[in-house]
Structure 1
Amino acid sequence: MRVRDLPLPDEVVAHYEASDITELYPPQEAAVDAGVTRGENAVVAIPTASGKTFIAELAMLTAGGPALYIVPLRALAREKYETFSELPGVSVGISTGDLDSTEELGAYDVVVATSEKVDSAIRNGASWVDDLACVVVDEVHLLGSKGRGPTLEVTMATLGRRAPDVQIVALSATVANPDEIADWLDATLVQSRWRPIDLRTGVYADGSVAFDDGSTLAVPVDASEGENGATAATVELVRGAVDDGGQCLAFVRSRREAEALADRLADEAIGEAATIAADVRSAGGTDTGRRLADCVEASVAFHHAGLRSEHRAIVENAFRARELKCICATPTLAAGVNVPARRVVVRDQQRYTGSGMEWLPVLEVHQMCGRAGRPHLDPYGEAVLVTGDDAGRAELQSRYVGAAPEAVESQLAEREALRTHVLAVVASGFAESREGVLDVLDATFYAHGTDESLAGLVDDVVADLVDWEMLTAETGLSATDLGGVVSRQYVAPRTGARIVEGLRTMATMEPDDVTGLTALEVVCDTPDMHGTYLGNRERAAMYQYARTHADELTTAMGETETFERWLESVKTARILLEWADGDSTEELVERYRIGPGDLESRIERAEWLLGAADTVADVLGADGSAFRAVRERL
């Protein structure tokens, strides 16, 4: 099937043909046959690089009305925004942050947004949601994610209520049960293993890689003194791909390991990228940024959440432009950001989770391996898992190479998530009774896939919300003013309850004791603030800091149920206060052993939470000036 045979405007056809897109890939043709250009729902489960974005564009361009593209990550949102903005005659909007408004998005033909921003728009009654003709959900397998899954699931269910005739196209590269998702969405399943570039996956052990197609690759490893075999093999695998004219992604378990491997590869002098290194240096002067720039000089980069967002973007864009030879990354890079490479090396298949080392999910490893093979650039793609011996080889072949990814299972029954979405359902006017809530939730993936009722759990979370004065249950269910504000501000109910508790404690404190630290301790001691690691060496100093400033804190040390978590929140509050007082990123990164990206994300979240706390104070008739003052200083 040719592009010019599709029901697209002439200027769009010309745009595709100018990009050498003239013939459809087999999965794309199957999607057209399934009706994506006729407004039909579809679940598209095809490998990475097989043309999912083009299928999404076909659906959005032929929908006859505004379209929404939902992504899990901000980096992916920016990438898709730039891609869709190249389409002729199409206006594109983007919404990803906690602070940006969604009201103006109705003016665009296509809106790219995270699921959280769409959920927020629905809660706040954004009128443009009602006019949507097409919704594309990227990485739909994240329905099974404990963090993002419930929000994505409820958002998809409520979108169907706000816009009953909307077309839904769900995309995924790795999902074990796409038929169940398709059944839930009343959609046609388009499933294929076809790739434009062949991918072979293998396991390295004892000097060679055994691939799943029966071929082998000798890897001469000379482990230098002090270097373990896995790292030595990874270095050789990267160097081999680069020497052959390709690029490489190397995945490791932690930030420290990513930086160490990048340093090691930089010593190999596999390339040169002085211009990109200069861009990195100009984007920030922390020690992390300088180390990154030093690696980039040799055409190697590391990539993890501790990097500033600008540094991550420079690395991703330079790699896509083939100006970097290798990225050493934590698994987060594999979650949807388009950075394909000739070879992918997964050095570590386990990571520390707080209670010990655990195997990575099959789905996550498949996501990494799927990055192998650059369309129009590579004759093939290779993914290699690294282990030490034949026993390890057999383990990895069984566990990952020959295994299907885990089935997607709903996480909606998790109490914290359910509490959030029950409040939103009532506060948004979707339900006015227990039965109404259950009716809304009956449209979720959870309800579709199980015979177990959510009724008992709903009763429990309603009781929590009544106790926190966010719902009333005297005659049916309704949100209080407090509950409405908590939902519209997009904070978790438990965050709202902690803010209320903090405000009430602040009202009993001496006026001079209510400071910026007070306000920051309240918002940092909530589930919506990212935690900050508290090392053993700094625990005593942070304990002393909390004792010294006890009069400014709303929680007494002896009264907290989770002392370690609270002490971490005091550390976060202290860092943010010192930032507000003028300390530089470089000083804080060095003093508190956090990444520049960690500081960046906590500042942004603090702004959002301080604004929410001020709004909660207003609805309670309390004094929110401490929240306003420190937010302005941030």
Structure 2
Amino acid sequence: MDCKSMKSIFELKIDDIPLEKKYIERFKSRGLSTFFPPQALGALTLFNLPIIDKIVEIDQKIYSDFQIPFFKLFYEKVQQIDLDNPPVGDKLNHFSSLHENYLFCIPTGVGKTLLGMLAAIKALPQKTLWCFTLKAIANEKYMDFRELFEDLGIKVGIKTGDFSSERDSYLKYYDWIVTTPEAADSLLTSKPSWLKEVKLVVLDEIHMVRDTERGFKYEDVVAKSQYHNFNLIGLSATITNAVELARWLDANLIYSDWRMVPLKKGVLYGRQIYYSKKKMTSFRRISPDDAINAAITFLENDEQVLCFVDSRMRIQEKARKCVKLLQARGWVPNNDISIPDTESGVGEILNELVKYGVAFHMAGLSLENRKAIEDLYRDGLIKVIWATPTLAAGVNLPAKRVIQDGYKRASRGRWVMLPVIEMHQRWGRAGRPQYDKLGYGYVVARKSSTDESGERLTKEKEIARLIDKYVNGTPEPIRSKYLVETNLFCSLLRCIRANYARTINQILKYYKFTLSNIQFPKSREIILEAIEFLVENGFLKRTPKEIRSTHYGNLTSDLYIHPLTALTYSKAIELISDKPDPITLTFIVCMAPDAITLPIRGREESDCWKYYENNMIFFPLEIEDSIQLRAVKTALVLDDYKEEIPTRTLEEKYHINIGDLTPIVTRLGFVPWLFNAFAKLAAYHKRTAIIPRIEVLKDRITYGVKEKRLPLISIRYVSRERAIALQNAGFETVESIANADLTELRNVTVKGFKLGNWAARIQKDATRYFKMGKDPRREYSPEDLSAPQTKIPKLPKKKPHSKIKQKKLIFYD
């Protein structure tokens, strides 16, 4: 059989998809003219096109040469797989004809988001809610969607922070709304008026439901979406219990472990790579560090490499060692490559590294630095990136080779091996379809390793253990974390507050929409205990007919904070004086379970304990363990930040990176959100005297300025640096800016650059404020911060569906 004719059997042309011509042309203009399986099967399913029924036999040589999947589409096989995994519960194997839900379980990099886009286009003119795991990914997809479709009439909006339902009304103007699990759950809880216009919810990386802290948000989003009769599209990597997840979503399952670029997995030990217990390859020794040795070898072969390390300090150390090795080997730096300059000393380090094609990537970097590294890597100017695991779950940066340096991490005071699913997810980045015939994933073995019993392992046993677990092993099944006590408190309170359930039976019915119900169906007692906790602590109250949320519970739910956060703040509000020290208020906010706190190094722990014990007057809440001690360090950092201490000084003093502060401060960080919650709880407890102090402190930390800068910060286009520069130049007030000579304003220098054309915009906004007859400094009123009395209308009960059809489970391999 001719190779070209065989390949055509597996192709589906974009012209065959029933889309409007403008979308077809846009896809084709971006190089998406052909869908290869499993995208082809996904498109066929979404648009009800005839399924390919030809059986094609391809010998192994052609398969490996042309990367064409060897599969057969047999309904008999589908039915057999369904019998092997019998349904759990009544009618869970049935599928409503009014809802076409799909779960796509396919490997990384073969078009999962593309399938979501097809479904979202098909749902127009009704709205689609997109749910991405991280804010960084959501922002990236938001920009991609706008670039692709906005000029074609699809309006794309985004909501990733600010959990206030009062600010959600603007989203009614958009067709596609990009969110995170937390933001999506907030929208479904607050029930804005435009929610009735939503038809589809697309859940990216739905296998992250396994995450202990955030996974239950996915279950709440799914449960509430099914309550509203939304269609669901789940996108996931290949997992072992995909059928179980499909039953949870009430979805047709489309499953494949086929990759566009096949992945070859191995164990790196010394200068050998073992692909099996007998098969291995060798390369020369350049460095005593096995990971660095391999990375430099591949770099000199002009190959791109991603190296994952579970430590921020180690990735910087290894990147520097790589560059020193390249310098010793006579490499000439490319001085045309640079990273945007920041106040951070890390920017200077990166600028030296990237000239040799090496960089490191972590959450601690500024957004500008991370984006610059990703762009340089995509352009091929950076060859080796040392990264923390956040990159594996986030940005799309495929490489020919992926190296996992180290396979253990600390968990509850002991070292445990990484789960197979995490290792495979990181290796999934290997293989670039446009360049590589094969992708390679390696785990670096330990030279002196022990097993679970503490027995020392020989080289042969260590290699055999890693090959059995990671190379030949299968990923662990996805398990729900919904019943974790703290997760259950949040979910139940918001469910009752939003009228999704009001009786025990309704709560148990809501629970049936969760993955936890399929995996742990006998959980009634656990749920009843959680309800009792919420009742005892004043969040819920029982009446003869139902369970209702109290005023305190409503406030906690509306603020989108954890019930334990509300209890922490309420206790602190009772203890503090009417004129608390700023460090006290900051510490209280950082003690909440919802707060993001800065890590403490081993040698810092004793210093923090000592500081806490010597200054307990400032810390009204008792600290019980080292995890809570992180609140002290975070409070000290934020206290210095608001006093305009230079960023580099903070990095050196507290051993942090500037990017560590990004999720804490800024308008989308936890500082504005939790300080606002703290102020409203103070109003609820009638401690109005402390509210102005809380609000002023919130603004100071958010913008990192002294109090005298706040009037200028309220002007549009005036950042922290510009406020400092303007006041240093003599423009102390809004009035002085409004009445200033425009030429003088243009000449104000900020970080070496003049304001220039920005001066006219700043002056225009300052004039507008000045004409209002008051400074833009907020006038805080306790009445404005009183607890909301929002009434959430009850939705009509769903009518049972009469038309039921058998759920399809479509497999191919």
On whether the aligned pair clears a TM of 0.5, the verdict is: yes
Distance change in 2, residues 1:391/1:537 (3 Å): closer
Contact residue 74 and residue 96 of structure 1 kept, 8 A: yes
Aligned partner of 2:540 in structure 1 is 471
1:361-400 mapped onto 2 (5 Å cutoff): 361-387=419-445, 388=447, 389-400=459-470
Inter-partner Cα distance in structure 2 for 1:196 and 1:171: 17
Which deviations, in whole Å up to 9, do the C-alpha atoms of 1:76-110 show, x marking residues without a partner? 11222122223232221122124684332222121
Distance change in 2, residues 1:214/1:42 (3 Å): farther
Inter-partner Cα distance in structure 2 for 1:333 and 1:178: 24
Structure 2 counterpart of 1:55, from 115, 118, 142: 115
AA matched with 2:583: L
AA matched with 1:631: K
Structure 2 counterpart of 1:189, from 246, 250, 253: 253
Distance change in 2, residues 1:463/1:276 (3 Å): farther
Contact residue 72 and residue 148 of structure 1 kept, 8 A: no
- Secondary structure at the residue paired with 1:68? strand
Aligned partner of 2:316 in structure 1 is 259
Unpaired stretches in structure 2, ≥5 consecutive residues: 1-11, 50-98, 448-458, 702-813
Inter-partner Cα distance in structure 2 for 1:605 and 1:273: 40
Inter-partner Cα distance in structure 1 for 2:693 and 2:534: 26
1:75-90 mapped onto 2 (5 Å cutoff): 75-88=136-149, 89=152, 90=154
Aligned partner of 1:578 in structure 2 is 640
The alpha carbon displacement at 1:448 in A equals 2.2
The alpha carbon displacement at 1:564 in A equals 3.5
Contact residue 216 and residue 487 of structure 2 kept, 8 A: yes
Inter-partner Cα distance in structure 2 for 1:357 and 1:544: 28
Aligned partner of 1:427 in structure 2 is 497
- 2:683 is aligned with 1:618: yes
Aligned partner of 1:249 in structure 2 is 306
Question: Normalising to structure 2: TM-score of the pair?
Answer: 0.72
Aligned partner of 2:31 in structure 1 is 20
Inter-partner Cα distance in structure 2 for 1:632 and 1:505: 24
CA RMSD of aligned residues (A): 2.2
Distance change in 2, residues 1:324/1:561 (3 Å): closer
Inter-partner Cα distance in structure 1 for 2:684 and 2:197: 32
The alpha carbon displacement at 1:276 in A equals 4.7
Which deviations, in whole Å up to 9, do the C-alpha atoms of 1:572-592 show, x marking residues without a partner? 212212211222222222111
- Secondary structure at the residue paired with 1:133? strand
- Secondary structure at the residue paired with 2:123? coil
Inter-partner Cα distance in structure 2 for 1:491 and 1:549: 28
- 2:206 is aligned with 1:149: no
Which deviations, in whole Å up to 9, do the C-alpha atoms of 1:547-579 show, x marking residues without a partner? 554334323xxxx36153443312221221221
Contact residue 302 and residue 328 of structure 1 kept, 8 A: yes
Aligned partner of 1:601 in structure 2 is 663
Contact residue 137 and residue 171 of structure 1 kept, 8 A: yes
The alpha carbon displacement at 1:419 in A equals 0.2
The alpha carbon displacement at 1:236 in A equals 3.3
- 2:20 is aligned with 1:9: yes
Contact residue 153 and residue 445 of structure 1 kept, 8 A: yes
Inter-partner Cα distance in structure 1 for 2:181 and 2:28: 32
Inter-partner Cα distance in structure 2 for 1:567 and 1:334: 29
The alpha carbon displacement at 1:344 in A equals 0.8
Distance change in 2, residues 1:273/1:19 (3 Å): farther
Inter-partner Cα distance in structure 1 for 2:658 and 2:521: 46
Which deviations, in whole Å up to 9, do the C-alpha atoms of 1:404-459 show, x marking residues without a partner? 11101111110000000100011111122222222211211111233312x22222
Aligned partner of 1:462 in structure 2 is 531
- 2:417 is aligned with 1:353: no
Aligned partner of 1:173 in structure 2 is 237
Unpaired stretches in structure 1, ≥5 consecutive residues: none
Structure 2 counterpart of 1:631, from 698, 709, 715: 698
The alpha carbon displacement at 1:308 in A equals 2.5
- Secondary structure at the residue paired with 1:602? coil
Structure 1 counterpart of 2:520, from 450, 471, 477: 450
AA matched with 1:382: Y
Inter-partner Cα distance in structure 2 for 1:394 and 1:541: 43
The alpha carbon displacement at 1:271 in A equals 7.7
Identical positions, percent:
28
Distance change in 2, residues 1:573/1:43 (3 Å): same
Distance change in 2, residues 1:595/1:207 (3 Å): same
> Mean Cα displacement is larger for which, 46-55 or 349-358?
349-358
Inter-partner Cα distance in structure 2 for 1:75 and 1:186: 29
AA matched with 1:263: R
The alpha carbon displacement at 1:342 in A equals 0.9
Aligned partner of 1:300 in structure 2 is 358
Aligned partner of 1:313 in structure 2 is 371
Contact residue 144 and residue 411 of structure 1 kept, 8 A: yes
Inter-partner Cα distance in structure 1 for 2:195 and 2:208: 22
- Secondary structure at the residue paired with 2:381? coil
- Secondary structure at the residue paired with 1:86? helix
Question: Normalising to structure 1: TM-score of the pair?
Answer: 0.92
Report how many residues are paired.
613
Aligned partner of 1:67 in structure 2 is 128
1:213-252 mapped onto 2 (5 Å cutoff): 216-223=280-287, 227=288, 231=289, 233-252=290-309
Inter-partner Cα distance in structure 1 for 2:659 and 2:216: 26
The alpha carbon displacement at 1:600 in A equals 2.3
Distance change in 2, residues 1:518/1:207 (3 Å): closer
The alpha carbon displacement at 1:295 in A equals 1.5
Inter-partner Cα distance in structure 2 for 1:213 and 1:342: 23
> Based on CA coordinates, which of the two structures has the bigger radius of gyration?
2
- Secondary structure at the residue paired with 2:481? coil
Which deviations, in whole Å up to 9, do the C-alpha atoms of 1:24-47 show, x marking residues without a partner? 111011112333679721111111
> Mean Cα displacement is larger for which, 543-552 or 198-207?
543-552
Inter-partner Cα distance in structure 2 for 1:190 and 1:411: 25
